[in-house]
Amino acid sequence: MANSNLPRRIIKETQRLLSEPAPGISASPSEDNMRYFNVMILGPTQSPYEGGVFKLELFLPEEYPMAAPKVRFLTKIYHPNIDKLGRICLDILKDKWSPALQIRTVLLSIQALLSAPNPDDPLSENIAKHWKSNEAEAVETAKEWTRLYASGV
């Protein structure tokens, strides 16, 4: 019943997310709000986040797909493009959004952001400074935070 008013595109995307999940990513809609997804992303191998399980939340606003999904990390993470509240600095979530993109591409991009932190376009100034001044040490901190906060359920 509730699904009948959900745009076909969202239903399709959801079905595909559930039947063919992207490697290292899971996304499932919440029972009481089909536009709200619980997301898990595994830290990519050979990144400081390897071994971590990161929880995120994603919401498809009324205007989706004309407007980007809203996404944030719920698990604490040490990353120059993610702030204390888990907000993510990623162009496709802002001005580079296109309706041709999907939930899947957004989550894959976030996974890729974990492999390639970009301290030149920071959201967390302090973490970016750390990254630029002493990358090895910043990576160590990121690994430690992964152990502390993202070591799985």
Write down the least CB distance from residue 26 to another protein, Å.
18
DSSP string, 79-96: -TTB-TT-BB--GGGTTT
Q: Quick one: 30 or 134, whose CB is closer to another protein?
A: 30
Q: Quick one: 53 or 115, whose CB is closer to another protein?
A: 53
CA distance 48 to 128: 15
Write down the least CB distance from residue 46 to another protein, Å.
27
Residue 32 in tokens: 């009481």
Write down the least CB distance from residue 29 to another protein, Å.
11
Cβ contacts of 44 within 8 Å, gap of 6 or more: 24, 50, 111, 112, 114, 115
Cβ contacts of 67 within 8 Å, gap of 6 or more: 61, 97
Q: Quick one: 10 or 115, whose CB is closer to another protein?
A: 10
Question: Is there a catalytic annotation at residue 89?
Answer: yes
**Set 10, 11, 22, 89: catalytic member:** 89
* Site residues (vs another protein, CB under 8 A): 2, 5-6, 30, 32-36, 57, 59, 61-62, 70, 72, 74, 76, 84-87
Active site residues: 89
